[in-house]
Amino acid sequence: MFEFIKKRLKSMQNEKLQEKNTAKDKESKISKSLKENLGDIKSTVGNSSDVIMREFSFGHGVCAALIFIDGMTDKKVINESIIEPLMYGFKCSEIDSPDIEKIKLQMIAVSEVKDVDSMDKVIEGFLAGNTVLLMDGSNKALVINTTEWEKRSVEEPQTESVIRGSREGFTENMRTNTSLLRRKIRNPNLVIDKTVIGKSTNTAVCVVYIKGIANTELVDEVKSRLEKIDTDSILESGYIEQYIEDAPLSIFSTVAYTEKPDVVAAKILEGRVAIIVDGTPFVLTVPMFFVESFQTTEDYYSRFYFMNMLRIVRYISYLITILAPAVYVAITTFHQELIPTKLLFTMMEAREGIPFPAFIETLIMLLAFEILREAGVRMPRTIGQALSIVGALVMGEAAVSAGIVGAPMVIIIAITAVSIFNIPYQADSAAILRFIFLILAATMGLYGITMGLLGTLVHLSSLKSFSFPYLFPVVPFDIKGNKDAVIRAPLWTMRRRPNGMSKKNPKRHGNFIHNPMQRKDK
């Protein structure tokens, strides 16, 4: 069945590629007549009120027009650095022909100016917030960078808060995001390669990597996958993620995302490639390993004993969050002999008078939790407080005292619900796995859970992310990679980047051994 869907997808992709090739061949040139050009633009953008066309003349009767979008440009720059020098500048009287080179070199007092000769580039230019200067009698136009729009300032990310480490988070503005990265890695080899994706949205997408560290095959693969995207809109990096991921039908994501510049910096320094999409603070990094879901920046910023403990806690949380309800159901309905007598007695007492079997009871509570969680995200912040009170009462006290669910069930759901927040990157897959395991447990007991775990393991080992095995460094086992998998070795022992990630430059640092005793001898 999956084969069929895959084949179908492939044929669809091929069709799209052909379409794209045929669409690319005609490109309209700028004509010499200003009126014609303005007419062209008007017919393309329609009657949009925010597209402003300012017609004026300067020098010895050179007719010109400025085209820009209100709200995306800095009017002060347009007035003082474009219009003023052209109309009142001390050299303006010398201009008697639409000499684009001369005007670009001598008249325009703006830092970034480009000359273009196609109508598409003109339209693309002013839609991106630039100001376009068109002149009668010239078949070239100047695209002057005057972008300035309202944007959010750099704030602490809401989804990934830390105790120790940088509190900067990416914003919706792509240039701010690239600057945050550039500030972390002041290296000429940091490449920020921009392309535009989306036929309607023309969204800027940057591929970021470090030349000399990232494998060229990986960079090429990312670029070619981005090129293949044929869609009319990219509104968030999630669109890109779903178009380029290796296993689109798996419940596990094979592309990582983050809101924090230091995370992206660390990942591209390991040889990964980041994809920044304009308009979203979420930056993608590829390839993704499963163990990455259990790593946080603080693992590396704080000393390793405590952080290792927390990392192990994260792995345990993951197991709890996917297995706790299932194991509870399996043990209480099939394997009572596994429960110590006194606990069994307490549990039986708690279940006394509960009208539903354990499976239905668990299902009700899990569903209630998912409803509450979703409501907590969607509802206006101001009534969030009310929700938490209602949630706590409904989930806990009321349900137990009304005899609808047992007290042990509430404990199980509570620990399951809390555990998922320890591994936010796997939260979506864990929520689905939890229900699958629950159904397996209710029908086949611990045997079912074991079968489910085996199936999950087989599936995980079959996954690849940009030709890297998803379970690396556990499968295939890599002893050096395991320095940063379940446990994190001290930083100075991690001399190499993850195996295979950087073929040209695998070493992080030299034979530096952090041993104060040795240094004293010297």
Partner 1 sequence: MNRKAIILLIAVLSTFLTSGCWNYRGLNEMAIVSGLAIDKGEDARGYKLSFEILDLGGSSKEGGVKTKFVESTGNTIFDAIRNAKKKTESKLYFGNARIIILNDKLARDEDISQLMDVFLRANEVRETTNVVIAKNMSAGKAISSKTLTNAITSFELQKIIAEDNKNTASTMDNQLYKIYNILKAPGESLVLPAISEVQNGKEPVLEIDGLAVFNGERLAGYLTPEESKYYLFAANAIKGGLLTLSVENQNADSLSLEIVKNKTKVKNVYDGERIKLIIQTETDAYLNELAENINVLDEKQINEVCLKEEEKLSYLISSTIKKVQNDYKTDIFGFGNKIYKHNTKLWQQVGSDWDEFFGSAEIEVKSKINILNTDSIKKL
Nearer of residues 226 and 344 to partner 1, judged by Cβ: 344
Do 376 and 388 touch, CB atoms closer than 8 A?
Answer: yes
Evaluate whether 166 touches 94 at the Cβ level (below 8 Å).
no
Minimal distance, residue 445 CB to partner 1, in Å: 3
Regarding 446 and contact with partner 1 (CB under 8 A), the answer is: yes
What's the distance, CA 397 to chain centroid? 39
Nearer to partner 1, 304 or 334 (CB): 334
- What's the chain's length in residues? 522
> How is residue 491 written in tokens?
């930083």
Tell me if 196 sits within 8 A of 125, measured CB to CB.
Answer: no
Take residue 36 and report the two structure tokens written for it: 């014609």
Please state, in angstroms and rounded to a whole number, the distance separating the CA atoms of residues 208 and 466. Answer: 16
Q: Which residue, 97 or 336, is less far from partner 1 as judged by CB?
A: 336
Structure tokens at 128: 């991106």
Is the CB of 15 or the CB of 349 nearer to partner 1? 349
Least separation in angstroms between residue 416's CB and partner 1 is 20
Nearer Cβ to partner 1, position 294 or 359? 359
Whether 203 contacts 174, CB under 8 Å: no
DSSP H stretches of helix in 172-260? 174-184, 216-228, 237-244
> Contact at 8 Å (CB) between 473 and 291?
yes
Which token pair is 32?
């010499």
Taking CB under 8 A as the binding criterion, the range among 81-89, 188-196, 301-309, 335-343 that sits at the site for partner 1 is 335-343
Q: For residue 13, state whether it binds partner 1 (rule: CB under 8 A).
A: no
- Residue 252 beta carbon to partner 1: minimum distance, rounded to whole angstroms: 20
Nearer to partner 1, 253 or 332 (CB): 332
Contact characters 305-334, partner 1, x per CB under 8 A? -------------------------x-xxx
The closest of 449, 445, 413, 414 to 336, measured between CA atoms, is: 445
Which residue of 336, 388, 467, 493 would you call a contact of partner 1, by CB under 8 A? 336
Q: How far is the CB of 362 from partner 1 (least distance, A)?
A: 12
In the complex, least distance from residue 396 CB atom to partner 1, rounded to whole angstroms: 18
Beta carbon of residue 345, minimum distance to partner 1 (angstroms, whole number): 6
Q: Pick between residue 188 and residue 340 the one whose CB is nearest to partner 1.
A: 340
Q: Please tell me the distance from the alpha carbon of residue 134 to that of residue 57, in angstroms, as a whole number.
A: 11
Q: Site for partner 1 (CB under 8 A): which residue of 185, 410, 436, 444? A: 444
Residue 190 · residue 210 · CB < 8 Å: yes
Cβ at position 6, least distance to partner 1 in Å: 14
* 412 binds partner 1, rule: CB under 8 A: no
Least CB distance to partner 1 at residue 462 (A): 15
Number of residues that bind partner 1 (CB under 8 A): 27
Site for partner 1 in 450-489 (CB under 8 A): 451
Q: Minimum distance between the CB of residue 251 and partner 1, rounded to whole angstroms?
A: 18
Binding mask 337-366 for partner 1 (x = CB under 8 A): x---x--xxxxxx-xx-x--xx--------
Which strand ranges, in their side-by-side order, compose the sheet holding 283-286? 190-197, 203-210, 273-277, 283-286, 256-258
Whether 197 contacts 20, CB under 8 Å: no
* Token output for 22: 């045929």
Nearer to partner 1, 24 or 342 (CB): 342
Asked whether position 1 contacts partner 1 by CB under 8 A, the answer is yes
In sequence order, the β-bridge partners of residue 66 are 54, 133
| Residue 447 is a binding residue for partner 1 (CB under 8 A) | yes
How far apart are CB 225 and partner 1 at their closest, in Å? 29
What's the token pair of residue 347?
Answer: 């549990």
Of residues 197 and 358, the one with the C-beta less far from partner 1: 358
74 CB contacts (<8 Å, ≥6 apart)?
A: 146, 147, 148
Helix (H, G, I), strand (E, B) or coil at 81: helix
Q: Residue 65 or residue 413: which is nearer to partner 1 going by CB?
A: 413
Residue 244 burial class via C-beta count within 10 angstroms: exposed 0-12, middle 13-18, buried 19 and up: buried
What does the binding site for partner 1 look like in residue numbers (CB under 8 A)? Answer: 1, 330, 332-337, 341, 344-349, 351-352, 354, 357-358, 443-448, 451
